Amino acid sequence: MTSDISTTPAEVVTGAGEGATRPPSPAVKPATAARHALLHGAIVPTMLRLALPTIAVLVIQTAVSVAETYYVSALGTDALVGAALVLPVSMLMTMVAAGGIGGGVAAAVSRAMGAGRVRDANALVFHALALAIAFGLAFTLGLRLGGPALYRLLGGTGGALDAALSYSGWLFAGAVPLWIINLMSAVLRGIGNVRVPALVTLVGAVVMIPLSPFLIFGIGRFQGFGIAGAGIAVSGYYTVAASVLLAYMARGRSGLTLRRVPLEGRLFRDILGVGVVSALSALQLNLITILVTGAVGRFGTDALAGFGMGSRLDYLLIPLLFGLGTAVLTLVGTAMGAGDQARARRAAWIGALIGAGVTEAIGLAVALWPAAWVDLFSHDPAVLAHGAHYLRTVGPVYGAVGLTFILGFASQGGGRPLWAFLAGTARLIVAAGLGWLAVAGFGAGLGTLFAIVAAASVTSAALCVIATLTGAIWRPGRE
């Protein structure tokens, strides 16, 4: 596809070797300066500049999530189990929005900018908004209609089921704003703008710290809403933050502008060609958690609560890996759009090694001292024992999880996410398939189930490494 940068003065992109004759207009200067840095800057400093703001703010946001779990735990075991039942589903939506379809948005935007197709990059903003509304409504309606059956399938009964339904109803009422935040943030990350998405998330975290306990417990004569208050707080934040982000995008200060344009099938294909496969990968990851949660539920409420507290740490790795992974995606996508596959490969491997090293260090720490984590949520000896058992078994392979996650983002930027999906399929078959078979068919205990989950992570990492080494994740040619 040919570049449009030399024919539209307002969209000229200056950079080494491009022979531009006129400077970019003020409206596109932020995007063009970022493009030059993405294509020519040193990889590690550029990657860290992109990753660290996102990581720092998402860590703060995750800390708020941990605090919310602590608040909910004060409502009793039913509320704690109810929140644990909703967690895999809420994380599924977030991961599909941010790393799945959002990954497709960021990849499409970064490749368009790398190739100098600024008109397409601008049009992708409105296409991303259309997708956000459609997917958000699908999640809201799906959980409204199917939530009761799903939470029963996961083992929810009695008070725990009631708590899950109350929390879920309010949480997923804010699905459309959540999708808008994630897809508009993906647009900005695709051009290297991590400051604005990070600022939106940071402000949200600061607001949620006092808002969540107020709505859960109340103060003075205000009685609070119990576990429903946690969902109300989250949905309220998403609604306000989405409005702010849309206003920012409409002003065009980032270099790309949200404006109504004719919807084009080719631009939806640019997004969904990567995004749907990546979303299915996110679905796989959460389906693994859902099915393993169901298998653990066969051992009773204490085992389910302990596993929920231990596996929550798995989700807490996501901010780190997401921040680094989106930086890798942007670098790889921009380089592939510009036809520089060698730079794309270097960025992918550097990011993967950093991700694997950091997550492995975390995994070894919690495997050696699991009480430092699970003691935050419960003092029930049975719950603590099950949570510690999980971390001692799965923690040592967290490095494999990190490696898989980052190479998956690299495959999005490379335009070939299928191999990451196949690696996720292998993990699903081993963890959920063999895990359920071992427990339900052969009467295996929790220790065997947790060992199978660990083996599944190693299997998927090995497949991702093979695909990257053989070049299967790279789309050949210039965009």
State the pTM of this model. 0.75
49 assigned to some structural domain: yes
8-17, 185-194, 246-255, 378-387: range with lowest mean pLDDT? 8-17
Given this model, what pLDDT does residue 357 score?
94
The answer to whether residues 301 and 77 touch, using CB atoms and an 8 Å cutoff, is yes
478 assigned to some structural domain: no
Indicate if the pLDDT at residue 81 is higher than 50: yes
Average pLDDT of span 325-339 = 88
Q: Which residue has the tokens 């063999």?
A: 434
Given this model, what pLDDT does residue 141 score?
94
Longest CA–CA separation in the chain, Å? 73
275 assigned to some structural domain: yes
Given this model, what pLDDT does residue 262 score?
93
Average pLDDT of span 100-121 = 88
474 assigned to some structural domain: no
Give CA–CA dist 379/385, Å, rounded.
Answer: 10
Rounded (10°) CA dihedral 420, 426, 431, 435:
170
The secondary structure element, H or E, covering residue 354 is helix 341-368
Percentage of the chain lying above the pLDDT 70 cut? 91
Percentage of the chain lying above the pLDDT 90 cut? 24
The answer to whether residues 225 and 215 touch, using CB atoms and an 8 Å cutoff, is yes
Domain limits for position 175: 9-469
Average pLDDT of the chain?
A: 82
Given this model, what pLDDT does residue 32 score?
66
The answer to whether residues 147 and 168 touch, using CB atoms and an 8 Å cutoff, is yes
Average pLDDT of span 348-354 = 94
443 assigned to some structural domain: yes
Given this model, what pLDDT does residue 164 score?
87
- CA distances, 401 to each of 30, 87, 314 (Å): 34, 19, 9
2 assigned to some structural domain: no
Indicate the pLDDT class of residue 229, thresholds 50, 70 and 90: confident
DSSP conformation letters of 27-53: TTHHHHHHHHHHHHS-HHHHHHHHHHH
Given this model, what pLDDT does residue 426 score?
92
Each residue of 415-443: pLDDT tens digit?
888 888 899 899 989 988 898 888 888 88
Each residue of 151-181: pLDDT tens digit?
888 778 888 888 889 888 898 998 999 999 9
Higher pLDDT, 41 or 246: 246
SS3 category, 73: helix
Given this model, what pLDDT does residue 424 score?
87
Average pLDDT of span 50-59 = 79
Indicate if the pLDDT at residue 256 is higher than 90: no
Give the chain's domain count.
1
Indicate if the pLDDT at residue 29 is higher than 70: no
Give the torsion sign (CA, 39, 42, 43, 48): negative
The answer to whether residues 450 and 299 touch, using CB atoms and an 8 Å cutoff, is no
Spell out the residues 6+ positions from residue 45 whose beta carbon is closer than 8 angstroms to its own. Answer: none
Average pLDDT of span 362-388 = 82
Indicate the pLDDT class of residue 398, thresholds 50, 70 and 90: very high
Indicate if the pLDDT at residue 406 is higher than 50: yes
Average pLDDT of span 23-36 = 57
45 assigned to some structural domain: yes
Average pLDDT of span 196-215 = 81
Average pLDDT of span 328-344 = 88
Question: 88-92: which pairs have CB atoms within 8 A and are 24 or more residues apart?
Answer: 88/154, 88/286, 88/289, 88/290, 88/293, 89/143, 89/147, 89/150, 89/168, 89/286, 89/290, 90/168, 90/171, 90/172, 91/286, 91/289, 91/315, 91/318, 92/282, 92/283, 92/286
Which residues lie across from 98 on neighbouring strands?
Answer: none
Indicate if the pLDDT at residue 26 is higher than 80: no
Which residues lie across from 219 on neighbouring strands?
Answer: 222
Indicate if the pLDDT at residue 123 is higher than 90: yes
Given this model, what pLDDT does residue 352 score?
94
H helix runs in 252-299, sequence order: 265-297
Indicate if the pLDDT at residue 306 is higher than 50: yes
Indicate the pLDDT class of residue 205, thresholds 50, 70 and 90: confident
1 assigned to some structural domain: no
With vertex at residue 59, the alpha carbon angle to CA 251 and CA 388, rounded to the nearest 5 degrees, is 150
